[in-house]
Amino acid sequence: MSLFSRLSRAGVAVGLGVSAVLVAGVVAAAPATADVSTPPPSTATPVPTATGAVAPVTVAPSATPSSSPAPTSEPLPTSAPLPTGDAAAAKTVTISGRVVFDKRTTTAQRAAVVVSATPAGGVPVPDAKVKYDAKAGTFRISDVPRGTYSVFSRMELADGWFAPTPYEIVVDATTKNVSDVTIDYSAARGGLATELLMFDESVLVRKLRVVATDVSTKAETELDLIGGGLGGVYNETILPTGTKVTVRAQYTDGRVVYYDGTAKGTSDPARAVAVSIGMWSFTRLTFDWAAAAAPKLASSTPTVSGTARVGRALTATTGVWARGATLTYQWSADGVAVRGATATSFTPGAAQKGKAITVTVTGKLAGYTSVSRTSKPTSAVAAGILTAPTPTIRGTARVGTTLTAVPGTWTSGTTLSYQWFANGTKIRGATSVSFTPTTAQRGAKLTVAVTGTKAGYASKTATSKATTAVAR
Q: Are residues 154 and 37 both part of a single domain?
A: yes
Q: Are residues 393 and 418 both part of a single domain?
A: yes
Q: What is the mean pLDDT of residues 321-337?
A: 95
Does residue 242 sit within a domain? Answer: yes
Give the pLDDT confidence score for residue 126 in this predicted structure: 58
Give the pLDDT confidence score for residue 168 in this predicted structure: 93
pLDDT higher than 90, residue 406 = yes
Q: What is the mean pLDDT of residues 61-73?
A: 38
Q: Are residues 39 and 176 both part of a single domain?
A: yes
Last residue of a domain, one of 382, 413, 439: 382
Does residue 67 sit within a domain? Answer: yes
Does residue 7 sit within a domain? Answer: no
Look up the CATH number of the domain holding residue 132: 2.60.40.1120
Does residue 349 sit within a domain? Answer: yes
Give the pLDDT confidence score for residue 106 in this predicted structure: 95
Give helix then strand counts, H and E, for the chain: 2, 35
CB 351 within 8 A of CB 381: no
Give the pLDDT confidence score for residue 7 in this predicted structure: 37
- Rounded to an integer, what distance in angstroms lies between the CA atom of residue 399 and that of residue 431? 18
Give the pLDDT confidence score for residue 59 in this predicted structure: 67
Q: Are residues 377 and 458 both part of a single domain?
A: no
Give the pLDDT confidence score for residue 412 in this predicted structure: 93
Q: Are residues 214 and 243 both part of a single domain?
A: yes
Give the pLDDT confidence score for residue 206 in this predicted structure: 87
- Which residue pairs, CB below 8 angstroms and at least 24 apart, start in 312-318? 312/347, 312/348, 312/384, 313/345, 313/346, 313/347, 314/345, 314/346, 314/347, 314/348, 314/357, 314/359, 314/378, 315/344, 315/345, 316/344, 316/345, 316/346, 316/359, 316/361, 316/375, 318/361
Does residue 122 sit within a domain? Answer: yes
Q: For residue 102, what are the CA distances in angstroms to 57, 245, 390?
A: 20, 22, 94
Give the pLDDT confidence score for residue 58 in this predicted structure: 64
Number of domains within the chain = 4
What is the phi/psi pair of residue 460, to 5°? Answer: -145, 145
Q: For residue 404, what are the CA distances in angstroms to 52, 394, 396, 411?
A: 100, 5, 10, 21
Q: Are residues 314 and 370 both part of a single domain?
A: yes
Q: What is the mean pLDDT of residues 263-288?
A: 94
- Rounded to an integer, what distance in angstroms lies between the CA atom of residue 442 and that of residue 203? 96
- Which residue pairs, CB below 8 angstroms and at least 24 apart, start in 256-264? 256/292, 256/293, 257/196, 257/287, 257/288, 257/289, 257/291, 257/292, 257/293, 258/287, 259/194, 259/285, 259/287, 260/287, 262/287, 263/2, 263/197, 263/287, 263/288, 264/288, 264/291
DSSP string computed for 357-370: EEEEEEEE-TTSB-
**Residue 173 lies in domain:** 31-185
- Rounded to an integer, what distance in angstroms lies between the CA atom of residue 259 and that of residue 251? 15
SS3 406: strand
Give the pLDDT confidence score for residue 157 in this predicted structure: 93
CB 378 within 8 A of CB 363: no
Which DSSP symbol is given to 146?
Answer: S
Q: Are residues 142 and 176 both part of a single domain?
A: yes
pLDDT higher than 70, residue 440 = yes
Q: Are residues 43 and 103 both part of a single domain?
A: yes
Residue 306, Cα to own-chain centre: how many angstroms? Answer: 36
Residue 295, Cα to own-chain centre: how many angstroms? Answer: 13
Which DSSP symbol is given to 349?
Answer: -
pLDDT tens figures, 16-57: 332 222 223 322 233 333 333 333 333 333 334 433 434 456
- Rounded to an integer, what distance in angstroms lies between the CA atom of residue 446 and that of residue 51? 99
Look up the CATH number of the domain holding residue 333: 2.60.40.2700
Does residue 21 sit within a domain? Answer: no
Minimal CA–CA distance to 20: which of 50, 53, 42? 50
Q: Are residues 98 and 174 both part of a single domain?
A: yes
Last residue of a domain, one of 139, 168, 185: 185
Q: Are residues 35 and 163 both part of a single domain?
A: yes
pLDDT tens figures, 150-181: 999 999 998 889 999 999 999 999 999 999 99
Q: How confident is residue 200, by pLDDT bands cut at 50, 70 and 90?
A: confident
User: What is the percent of the chain where pLDDT is above 90?
Assistant: 67
pTM of this structure: 0.51
Mark residue 350 as left, alpha or beta (left: phi above 0; alpha: psi -120 to 50; beta: remaining): alpha
HSE value, Cβ hemisphere, 13 Å, CA-based, for 177: 17
- Rounded to an integer, what distance in angstroms lies between the CA atom of residue 174 and that of residue 341? 87
Last residue of a domain, one of 130, 156, 185: 185
Strand duo 446-453 + 224-229: pairing? unpaired
pLDDT higher than 90, residue 124 = no
The better pLDDT of the pair 417, 37 is held by 417
- Rounded to an integer, what distance in angstroms lies between the CA atom of residue 394 and that of residue 92? 131
Q: What is the mean pLDDT of residues 291-313?
A: 90
Q: Are residues 378 and 415 both part of a single domain?
A: no
Does residue 275 sit within a domain? Answer: yes
- Rounded to an integer, what distance in angstroms lies between the CA atom of residue 20 and that of residue 52? 13
SS3 80: coil
Q: Are residues 46 and 123 both part of a single domain?
A: yes
Q: What is the mean pLDDT of the chain?
A: 83
Does residue 162 sit within a domain? Answer: yes
